[in-house]
Structure 1
Amino acid sequence: MYSSLSYSAKSGLGRVWLISLLFLSLGLSSTSAQTSPPAKADVYIDGKGIMRWQGSKQEVALFGVNYTTPFAYSYRAHQKLGINPEQGIAQDVYHLSRLGVDAFRVHVWDVEVTDTVGNLLQNEHLRLLDYLIQQLKARRIKIILTPIAYWGNGYPEKDTAQTGFSSIYPKGQAYNTPRAVKAQENYLTQFLNHRNQYTGQFNREDPDIIAYEVCNEPHYRQPEAEVSAFIQRMVQAMRATGYKKPIFYNIAESPTVSNAILSSQVQGFTFQWYPSALVGGHTLRGNMLPLVNQYPIPYAKDPRFSSKPRMVYEFESADILQPVMYPLMARSFRSAGMQWATQFAYDPLAIAFANTEYQTHYLNLAYTPAKAVSLLIAGKVFRQVKRGQPFGTYPTDSVFNNFRVSYRAGVSELNAPEEFYYTSSTTTQPRKPASLRHVAGTGSSPIVAYEGTGAYFLDRLATGVWRLEVMPDALQVRDPFATTSLKQVVTRIAWNTQPIRMSLPGLGQDFTVRGLNTGNTFQGQATNGTVRLQPGVYVVAARGKNTSAFTPSMAMGAIKLGEYVAPPATNLPTQILHTAPFQIAAGQPATLQATVAGADATDSIFLVAQHYYGRTRTLPMRRLTLTTAESTVPADLLYPGLLRYWMVVKHNNKNTTFPGAHPGSPRDWDYAPREYWEASIVAPGTALPLYIASQDQQRTETGGINGAGWSDYVTTGNGQLSLRLLQSPPPSSPIPFSDAAAPVAFLRAYFGDRLASRAADAGTFQELVIRGRRGAGAGSVRLVLTTRDAVAYVADVELPADMQEVRVPLTAFRLGAQALLPRPYPSFLPLTFQTNGPATLPLAQAEVLQVLLGPAATPATEARPFLDIESIYLR
């Protein structure tokens, strides 16, 4: 079971807020452009189309998440696992508050809370939504709801037990079918007139529900008159209830009828952003920051648009775990004038171990700690960057205001006088250590040295007194963006006791530590600034400070000091997690690293390395931390050939061998399992494969661009597998925002890890060799190599009609633009990105290959134009 909450949202709220005035509000800096959202102020739209708070007239700037436990798959998964949904909601909302979230949005699954004529059903789903709203209000989190979703409730399963009008009227018919329109009017009326059974407030009057978006991602087509009539009827139905606050409408989903939406009676417009597309099936690698460099809006200069507020109802860096995307997304949103942005979707704690709710999304404080801290930092970006503030093109390391985002370092940071947040280990010195009030991060910094992988938070309570919250270790054991299942753990939780060193001004080297959360009885004293702690909440104080006044029930902003929520340790045996290098350079020592899960500090770990049909060596593995280990294979074992190896954990004199977790050791005479890791050992000058169609399907991205093409795999005349990029038939009607000269299909292949293993040879490669062919009058073929700093180098290549090797000198690559791939959504976003760099390709820094198939000059009438790619090498 999860640790229990000591916070009661139903009682003592007035006392909570009064006591909280004694403490600094969590996550708020004196440099913030927006103070904490007012407790009971409604919003209004001023004469310039800016949404502001009543009373203070301060501009609204709210940042947060979508979250779906009351509905659909998330609800069913809680039931399946025996988790009480109310408990799950309360725990998750605590974590959201801990991450500084002040905005919540969700599209209500109307299919679960209505009947076919739009009557609101007083059922469990509606009750849980009421409960969620009450919990959000208690944490000062503002709300925008989208009452109509049009979605079925199945994904990723089949639809089940649907009762509402959306079960019979699909999106394309819901707006121009009279009975469907009537059902939606009825539903909106009843939904806004619904009285929350926990707060006692009508949805239309709740000051914390600051606005509504009518419907989620509608699908419209010409004629526009039908769209205009539908929007008018929905707005009139809502206003007839007495609702007076803003009504927003989606303008990003159906651009063919944008004129009808722009001319409608709605007060604002909504957008989404999926810059890396969705459902790639594996983790995307490489520098993806160019995809979030800007968010240009095609309607920006239209007075019907510019005079109204705008919000982002959903955004996500799908299939990406790098903790650097959210802060730049938040910056781009503010540059585009957004006043609200909510990520889709925060994973409920109960099911985040498997990432089953939405395979392509993954965000949870316990299970993706670095990415979660990046959300905290992004919220600060959103509130502190001025609306409409311009920024230059993304550079190598982006530094702006108090923020730093570095792909190379894999870190996002906020470094302000009172706040210091970081997503990964950093050497950055805090700006004013003596002024710090809040610290949060993963890894180590000049303020905190910690070997665990979970997030931690430090909040100053008084001079020399801090609240420390430490989350358990999170260890990724499978690709979370591959096919998921509740039967399969993708991230493992470990409750490890580990040293933590704190160097906070005024704390000293012999500070005291006292456990605060339920069941945490720890009391201790640091030695040389270091103490060993298990996950939990603690009061940390300079020696001699009396901390008896700091009790678990005492308020600190929107939380209480003793609150703590964390999942239990994952009940799995010891695991060794490792990916073998594709090639190893001959004649040089090679260091192999692994993640260790579930092994005790006293366990021994060995590497058994064998040159195939040659010598075998047993080498000790060094424990870098409790969860990481490495060993160096000596050069005398690495002559050209094949390296096979195993990793052995010795616990209580018993050996377990990986991969496979088999009992025994590979050096035992009767060790029978045939699982092992292996890597080719190659001599200098050996070609380096950047892409092999028969091997790399699960580590590359392929497909069409803007509906103009698609991809497939075929076998060629020599029996080899080949990637086929094809051009689609001409569309029956123009595709909005499409470019007739743009590529129709693509291959994107990350090879940074392969080149790193051959770093010493990078200067010896002279050419890129592509084995492929073009057929049926296919268009031009462009090769693009991009570096870690997102600088692109391009070369055009002529491929024959039959399968051949074509050599492209590396000197032929020139500075140019990369395609933003996978294709960002919405479709009006830029397709290319270019930044300055050296005139000559710095191959040692290259990490991504793109192959772009251009449109055919004269599309074939029968056979589709195609490009086949069998392999691409550096030689």
Structure 2
Amino acid sequence: MIRVVPSVSRRWPVVLAGCGWLLALLISLPAFAQKAPPKTADVYVDAAGVLRWQGSKQEVALFGVNYTTPFAHSYRAHRRLGITPEQGIDQDVYHLSRLGIDAFRVHVWDVEITDTLGNVLENEHLRLLDYLLQRLKQRGIKTVLTPIAYWGNGYPEPDTAQTGFSAIYPKGQAYNNPRAIRAQENYLRQFLNHRNQYTGLLNREDPDIIAYEVCNEPHYRQPEAEVSEFVQRMVAAMRATGYKKPIFYNLAESPAVANAILSSPVQGFTFQWYPSALVNGHTLRGNLLPLVEKYPIPYAQDPRFVSKPRLVYEFESADILQPVMYPLMARSFRAAGMQWATQFAYDPLALAYANTEYQTHYLNLAYTPAKAISLLIAGQVFRQVKRNQQFAAYPQDSTFGNFRVSYRNGLSELNTPEEFYYTSTTTTAPRKPAALRRVAGTGSSPVVQYQGTGAYFLDQLAPSIWRLEVMPDAIQVRDPFAKTSLRQTVTRIAWNTQPLRLTLPGLGADFTVRGLNEGNAFQTQASNSTVVLRPGVYVVAARGKSTTAYTAQTQLGALKLGEFVAPAATPGPVQVMHAAPAQLPAGQPAVLRATIAGAEPADSVLLIAQHFYGQTRTIPMRRPTLTTAEATVPAELLYPGLLRYWVAVKYNQQTTTFPGGFAGSPRDWDYAPQDRWETPIVPAGAPLPLFQAAHDQQRVEAGGVNGSGWTDYVTTSTGHLALRLLQAPTPASPPAFFDPTAPVAFLRAYFGDRLAARASEAGNFRELVLRARRGGAAGPVRLVLTTRDAAAYATEVEVGADMQEIRMPLAAFRPAQQVLLPRPYPSFLPMNSPSNAGPALPLAQAEILQILLSPAAASGSTERPFLDIESVELR
């Protein structure tokens, strides 16, 4: 499945190849515009609590990922797929380096490398961790290790045979059970004194392991004295080995005992951020940028906190593919004073086709190219924004320093004189085209026009000479955040041959192109600044420029010019992906679009549209790119009723019809399959559904808020399905940061696509109609409409005990704060985002509906307070 060219060597010699002063200058240039961390310097904490490099005394600012191939499901899955973990590590570390990563963190699965007494086992998992650390070192990537994970090794599978102390001492006992404490002391001493069999260094003396976090997300409760003693003993065990660098401890996971951690002898504190919760089961849509606008820390004024550095050990915009979240997260981290941030978790290339490791996370250069480029940009945000630098509240399109983040355009962008990075097609012009040294992106820009979906990179080697790396197309064929399986592909890879146009100063319109990666003998000359090529690595030069000095082995920063790692093309038949619109307006032509995987350029793609049992039309579909198709259904076919339609892909004399992928055409007399797409065609003035409990379970988010409620689906007395929001019992001891005035449960429904289909009528809707009932003395109900610029408008609504329609004029929606849903983690993060709304609701821009159930007043009822919601629509 995986193509790797060439294999990565264990040594990284500089290859001069007789290139003279020009190549010597080339070799001295970094692969990315960042101040590279010192190769051998350790870190220290200064008197002001800032983490700095010894020698230079510069502040540490490192950004990267977690990555888990030596352990657990990732290790087993590589073996199951016939890929050695070493091969997988080599592939992925190259891509991490390509993305400018300079930080790596992982919680070590102690359960796989210890016995019950905490003795370190010199086994395969430990050897692979050694191997990974060596590979990271060779790329200049620094490490923070968390030796104790407390996790089983199964997820998402059942746990396998485990030998370690965490298999018998769960988190809740690990810190106050004497045997567990002794096992952890023993393990920490041995782990820090473990000698890496590839580097020859003890873990405690390796300069590239810059710090340790003692344990992963501990679960503590009162009394604090037990926690204090445990932390002191863990620190003492580590210091007893002679280890002198910083020791960090989690301050976010157990806020009830935060005082014990703040007063402990650790040198710094760690945090995490999951702003959109976890495991929503589907891709989240809508403008979620307010969720990552800021990261306020409740201990920010405590002297014990201010005097110590802080790290983000894990972060992720879970269940979100939009390539806009990471840069604002990185900015918020810097505003909060963070000096390290590592995403959880980068998907191994071998598994990313299925996203099985953690279904709620999805990040891989080959399979999520735009999101990966956004991580590259976020790393530059983290390094360029000053620690504790503050920013204004999130605007419509956030622009700061050299960066721009635009939800409307699905775009993150970095634009400096030397660098130009973008996650989607952009019309932004490079700041100084003649000064450009590095370009990376997906889509097109004023310097690169490309129809493929894979990422590409341009690195200047010398004036008018560039290294070009083009990744294959990634085509999403299933929701990657739904339930996953190694037997199910969520993203396909296609090695398409496509035109690529370069407009770079000094390159000219007839530049030469020469393949560099293994097996790539391609050579050509551009015409009108355009070449047609396959994925790979190339030397691109102005005509007449000699490129013989540049070989596959020539070093460029942490990379070699000929290195190229990409998955093989996904085998399988043609697939067509499409979601039918909820409605189409009558009397107006409608454009229907589909994504296509596996179709050749010469294949015909046809839309077969039928007005129920009325007339049928066969409409050739346009192919804007090799992976997309679109067609316009004429207005005469769209009179009120039901549109039924299919997409047929025709090659030679063979036709395959979708949905279903059946042989033949729906126009054949004997075409028997009943699969089809259907869409109601509605007259002007028809209601527009924003939420229907009977149909929308897989496209909405619903749940309790910070443990105060939960949700269910129930049937009403008429047999209709309703979403039920419920209030949880009042806790005897409320958790830290519990807000008794906050909503107890919520519904969040994205309807932007539905409103867009009837955009011409947006100004005609006058009211929102809620069909609902309330019981058990439930609290007030609040409705919120949020625009694509994250401006919120809200109104209170009275809901009775019987299922009924409640009509609210849209004029009743007034500017309001937006409740940040799904709820972020940690729980101390803000509940609301300040209002940036104008005086009147701009309905045409609305895209999110929130329904909030407020806490009930005390009552004598034994029935649990609830709100049942059947539907919400615009009329």
The offset of 1:10, in angstroms, is 2.0
1:785 matched residue in structure 2? 785
The offset of 1:547, in angstroms, is 0.2
Matches within 5 A, 1:762-841: 762-841=762-841
Secondary structure at 1:176 match in 2? coil
Secondary structure at 1:712 match in 2? strand
| CA distance in 2 between partners of 1:859 and 1:758 (Å) | 45
Structure 1's unaligned 5+ residue stretches are none
2:185 matched residue in structure 1? 185
| CA distance in 1 between partners of 2:488 and 2:292 (Å) | 32
2:365 matched residue in structure 1? 365
| CA distance in 2 between partners of 1:44 and 1:781 (Å) | 53
Residue 731 (structure 2) pairs with residue 746 (structure 1): no
Q: Give deviations 1:396-452, integer Å, cap 9, x for gaps.
A: 000000000000000000000000000000000000000000000000000000000
2:736 matched residue in structure 1? 736
Cα distance change of structure 1 residues 455 and 810 upon mapping to structure 2, 3 Å threshold: same
Native 8 Å contact 1:20 1:555 kept in 2: no
| CA distance in 1 between partners of 2:25 and 2:150 (Å) | 43
Native 8 Å contact 2:4 2:566 kept in 1: no
Residue 557 (structure 2) pairs with residue 557 (structure 1): yes
The offset of 1:652, in angstroms, is 1.1
Structure 2's unaligned 5+ residue stretches are none
1:432 matched residue in structure 2? 432
Secondary structure at 1:22 match in 2? helix
2:216 matched residue in structure 1? 216
The offset of 1:494, in angstroms, is 0.2
The offset of 1:750, in angstroms, is 0.2
2:600 matched residue in structure 1? 600
| CA distance in 1 between partners of 2:268 and 2:472 (Å) | 42
Native 8 Å contact 1:7 1:560 kept in 2: no
Cα distance change of structure 1 residues 650 and 40 upon mapping to structure 2, 3 Å threshold: same
1:414 matched residue in structure 2? 414
Residue 21 (structure 2) pairs with residue 22 (structure 1): no
| CA distance in 2 between partners of 1:496 and 1:670 (Å) | 35
| CA distance in 1 between partners of 2:78 and 2:526 (Å) | 41
The offset of 1:8, in angstroms, is 3.9
Native 8 Å contact 2:176 2:226 kept in 1: yes
Q: Give deviations 1:591-643, integer Å, cap 9, x for gaps.
A: 00111111111111111000002110111101111111110000000000000
2:683 matched residue in structure 1? 683
1:263 matched residue in structure 2? 263
| CA distance in 1 between partners of 2:28 and 2:302 (Å) | 43
The offset of 1:12, in angstroms, is 4.1
1:337 matched residue in structure 2? 337
Secondary structure at 2:44 match in 1? strand
Matches within 5 A, 1:319-338: 319-338=319-338
| CA distance in 1 between partners of 2:589 and 2:561 (Å) | 51
Native 8 Å contact 2:776 2:861 kept in 1: no
Matches within 5 A, 1:112-131: 112-131=112-131
One-letter identity of the residue aligned with 1:297: I
Q: Give deviations 1:279-305, integer Å, cap 9, x for gaps.
A: 000000000000000000000000000
Secondary structure at 2:753 match in 1? helix
Matches within 5 A, 1:638-677: 638-677=638-677
2:846 matched residue in structure 1? 846
One-letter identity of the residue aligned with 2:357: E
1:756 matched residue in structure 2? 756
2:236 matched residue in structure 1? 236
1:584 matched residue in structure 2? 584
2:374 matched residue in structure 1? 374
Native 8 Å contact 1:275 1:291 kept in 2: yes
The offset of 1:11, in angstroms, is 2.3
One-letter identity of the residue aligned with 2:233: R
1:300 matched residue in structure 2? 300
| CA distance in 2 between partners of 1:653 and 1:734 (Å) | 69
The offset of 1:529, in angstroms, is 0.3
Native 8 Å contact 2:14 2:555 kept in 1: no
Q: Give deviations 1:333-391, integer Å, cap 9, x for gaps.
A: 00000000000000000000000000000000000000000000000000000000000
| CA distance in 2 between partners of 1:8 and 1:144 (Å) | 24
Residue 252 (structure 2) pairs with residue 252 (structure 1): yes
The offset of 1:576, in angstroms, is 1.0
2:713 matched residue in structure 1? 713
| CA distance in 2 between partners of 1:860 and 1:242 (Å) | 63
The offset of 1:471, in angstroms, is 0.2
Q: Give deviations 1:740-791, integer Å, cap 9, x for gaps.
A: 1110000000000000001011111000000001101000000000000000
2:281 matched residue in structure 1? 281
One-letter identity of the residue aligned with 2:774: R
1:227 matched residue in structure 2? 227
Q: Give deviations 1:175-218, integer Å, cap 9, x for gaps.
A: 00000000000000000000000000000000000000000000
2:623 matched residue in structure 1? 623
Secondary structure at 2:565 match in 1? coil
Native 8 Å contact 1:277 1:318 kept in 2: yes
Matches within 5 A, 1:157-168: 157-168=157-168
2:634 matched residue in structure 1? 634
Native 8 Å contact 2:246 2:267 kept in 1: yes
The offset of 1:25, in angstroms, is 4.1
| CA distance in 2 between partners of 1:14 and 1:572 (Å) | 42
Q: Which moved more, 1:599-608 or 1:197-206?
A: 599-608
Instruction: Please report the RMSD computed on the Cα atoms of aligned residues, expressed in angstroms.
Output: 1.2
| CA distance in 1 between partners of 2:626 and 2:7 (Å) | 33
Residue 472 (structure 2) pairs with residue 472 (structure 1): yes
| CA distance in 2 between partners of 1:241 and 1:610 (Å) | 76
| CA distance in 2 between partners of 1:228 and 1:9 (Å) | 46
| CA distance in 2 between partners of 1:572 and 1:21 (Å) | 46
| CA distance in 1 between partners of 2:181 and 2:583 (Å) | 61
Residue 500 (structure 2) pairs with residue 496 (structure 1): no
Native 8 Å contact 2:612 2:643 kept in 1: yes
1:91 matched residue in structure 2? 91
1:544 matched residue in structure 2? 544
The offset of 1:862, in angstroms, is 2.2
| CA distance in 2 between partners of 1:749 and 1:360 (Å) | 19
Native 8 Å contact 2:774 2:802 kept in 1: yes
| CA distance in 1 between partners of 2:740 and 2:134 (Å) | 51
Native 8 Å contact 1:777 1:860 kept in 2: no
| CA distance in 1 between partners of 2:860 and 2:654 (Å) | 66
2:44 matched residue in structure 1? 44
Cα distance change of structure 1 residues 41 and 9 upon mapping to structure 2, 3 Å threshold: farther
Native 8 Å contact 2:189 2:238 kept in 1: yes
| CA distance in 2 between partners of 1:408 and 1:485 (Å) | 33
- Count of residues in Structure 1 that have an aligned counterpart in Structure 2: 871
Native 8 Å contact 2:12 2:138 kept in 1: no
| CA distance in 2 between partners of 1:307 and 1:152 (Å) | 35
Cα distance change of structure 1 residues 815 and 551 upon mapping to structure 2, 3 Å threshold: same
Native 8 Å contact 2:777 2:861 kept in 1: no
| CA distance in 1 between partners of 2:24 and 2:293 (Å) | 38
The offset of 1:3, in angstroms, is 2.8
| CA distance in 1 between partners of 2:457 and 2:14 (Å) | 26
One-letter identity of the residue aligned with 1:627: T
| CA distance in 2 between partners of 1:791 and 1:12 (Å) | 52
| CA distance in 2 between partners of 1:605 and 1:590 (Å) | 17
One-letter identity of the residue aligned with 2:26: L
Native 8 Å contact 1:27 1:419 kept in 2: no
| CA distance in 1 between partners of 2:186 and 2:10 (Å) | 32
Q: Which moved more, 1:633-642 or 1:1-10?
A: 1-10
Residue 360 (structure 2) pairs with residue 356 (structure 1): no
Secondary structure at 2:566 match in 1? coil
The offset of 1:6, in angstroms, is 3.1
Q: Give deviations 1:816-846, integer Å, cap 9, x for gaps.
A: 0111000000000001112323210000000
| CA distance in 2 between partners of 1:821 and 1:146 (Å) | 30
Secondary structure at 1:4 match in 2? strand
| CA distance in 2 between partners of 1:45 and 1:760 (Å) | 60
| CA distance in 2 between partners of 1:46 and 1:281 (Å) | 44
Q: Give deviations 1:476-518, integer Å, cap 9, x for gaps.
A: 0000000000000000000000000000110000000000000
What's the TM-score once normalised by structure 1's chain length?
0.99
